[in-house]
Chain A
């Protein structure tokens, strides 16, 4: 799977979880860019992504993400 395909699927998860059809993610998108993406919804997004891609991130991986691109890199490395 290409990283751009991962981004598309992650985008769908964000739309569902954050209940906002207008979300358009890029690799540079961060929590500052989306109102609903805060520390409360962050974990729900992670759980949904882990379930969807059938992966399990470790804590330091999650802590290291600064934007959607780095999150997609992690997914890519897991499903590689």
Chain B
């Protein structure tokens, strides 16, 4: 079930009403049952996968905790880890591995029997990737690591643990919630809090606005251009790529607003995933503000252990750990070379930023602060846009083709398509840009939470009217659902 669907707007009020009608001690059961229903609508064929992950992680964690022998602890940790990673790799990456191995054999064959190449096709398993598997496994693996490190106590209530991994607002695309943030909330008294519920609903409205009125509208242009790159000039491809960065942001942060808002109406607080990412002045800074729960996860469980372990290498340790981390992060997005290039580019630029820190700092001293900020923000936005070309492309060669065209075929003319699509895209970008600038530089100025009830009402009215008038309701699912 997706958030911007009629189903969800029937599902959410029903669960909400039942939730506050039943006694507090039964509410987590309702959340677990409704989350299972939420998953099953659209993913019932693969419901066994999250069940296996929940049972194996729950049992492994208790066994790790109960045993004092480090060797046995390690064995149970690896058991839980292998089950999680095994399922993730099998469903998400098996076809990529088969195709890559097959390509390898084909190359060898071509080299040894030139001209005698058979036209075998690689086997492609027809698998349905379980919904939200990347997010469920990342939360489960993080939990196992914390239990093994002894920094958390294993959850003994199976129902609570299942609710942690299945909680429907974050089930499909995060935020990747840490167990120690979520599990204690299950035991709190969740009284009906009018202000919290209203805040949650406003957040859902804002998320819906970002998704259907901005992201889906931008998608009309970006899809028309980027899916037919051979028919467009470099200038058009550049504009579509810049639009795609904003589409990605409004799509994913819109989803996250709806997820956090949905949790809030039940009295749950999820971790923020975005913090004005386009105010970042470097790529290192950007990754602290963009998809925060994923970058902090990879920082804690991949980057830091590697860099600490290899610290005797000095600066090379940082470069190496950064590169490994971002390659994994790229591969996490999908089993395809274009995602690996996306990760590789982040790793390279991070290494360059790290190695040139001191010299850049010296240079910055000669430039006014405001100019430094503008240069930093433009550079970050443009580099991220450049890397997203590979992210958006279907294959690595498509990405290379678009980039080369942008650099070689820039001219004054560009495709506007339907003037409505282009102008509403620009209006949408303007609204998001103003909102972003205000939230960073004038944080006290609020429209949805203004002191005046008339301004609050007018803002809500504006959003509703804008969504109804300009929203694109058949814009499909959120970009990040596929990961």
Asked if B284 and A46 sit within 8 Å, CB to CB, the answer is no
Is A77 located at the chain interface by the 8 A CB criterion?
Answer: no
- B314 partner, pick from A19, A38, A47, beta carbons under 8 A: A47
Smallest Cβ distance from A78 to chain B, in angstroms? 16
| Closest beta carbon of chain A to B319's beta carbon, Å | 10
Q: Which residue of B lies closest to A50 (CB)?
A: B311
In angstroms, Cα B305 to Cα A62, docked, is: 10
Given known pairs A19-B358, A38-B284, A59-B309, the reply for A43 and B149 (CB within 8 Å) is no
CB of B236, distance to nearest CB on chain A (Å)? 37
Within A28-80, the residues touching B (CB, 8 Å) are: 36, 38-41, 43-44, 46-47, 59-60, 62-63
Task: Considering the complex, give the chain A residue whose CB is closest to the CB of B319.
Answer: A40
Say if the beta carbon of B427 comes within 8 Å of chain A. no
Residue of B at shortest CB range from A47?
B311
- Which residues of B (353-400) have their CB < 8 Å from a CB of A? 354, 357-358, 361
A42 to chain B, nearest CB (A): 8
A43 in complex: contacting residue of B284, B311, B350, B361, CB < 8 Å: B311
In the assembled complex, which residues on chain B have CB atoms less than 8 Å from the CB atom of A38?
284, 288
Q: What per-residue 1/0 map shows which CB atoms of B303-318 lie under 8 Å from chain A? A: 1110111011011011
**Which chain A residue shows the least CB distance to B285?**
A38
Quick check: A39 and B299 within 8 Å, CB to CB?
Answer: yes
Instruction: Point out the residue from A40, A46, A47 that lies within 8 Å of B354, measured CB to CB.
Output: A40
Residues of chain A within 8 A (CB-CB) of B361 are: 19
The size of the chain B interface, using a CB distance under 8 A, is 22
Number of interface residues of A (CB under 8 A): 14
Q: Which of B303, B304, B312 has the most CB of A within 10 A?
A: B304
Give a binary string over B287-329; 1 marks a CB under 8 Å from any A CB, 0 the rest.
0100000000001000111011101101101100010000000
Assess A46 versus B149: contact at CB under 8 Å? Given A38-B284, A40-B318, A40-B322: no
Q: Are A43 and B305 in contact (CB under 8 A)?
A: no
Residues of B within 8 A of A62 (CB): 308
Known A19-B358, A19-B361, A39-B299; judge A44-B308 contact (CB<8 A). no
With a cutoff of 8 Å between Cβ atoms, the chain A residues found around residue B284 in the complex are 38, 40
Q: Assess whether B304 is in contact with A39, with CB atoms less than 8 Å apart.
A: yes
**Closest 8 A-B residue pairs measured CB to CB?**
A43-B307, A40-B354, A43-B311, A47-B311, A59-B308, A19-B358, A40-B318, A39-B299
Residues of A whose CB lies within 8 Å of any CB of B are 19, 36, 38-41, 43-44, 46-47, 59-60, 62-63
What are 13 sample pairs from A and B whose C-beta atoms fall under 8 A apart?
Answer: A19-B357, A19-B361, A40-B322, A43-B307, A43-B317, A44-B318, A46-B311, A47-B311, A59-B305, A59-B308, A59-B309, A63-B149, A63-B304
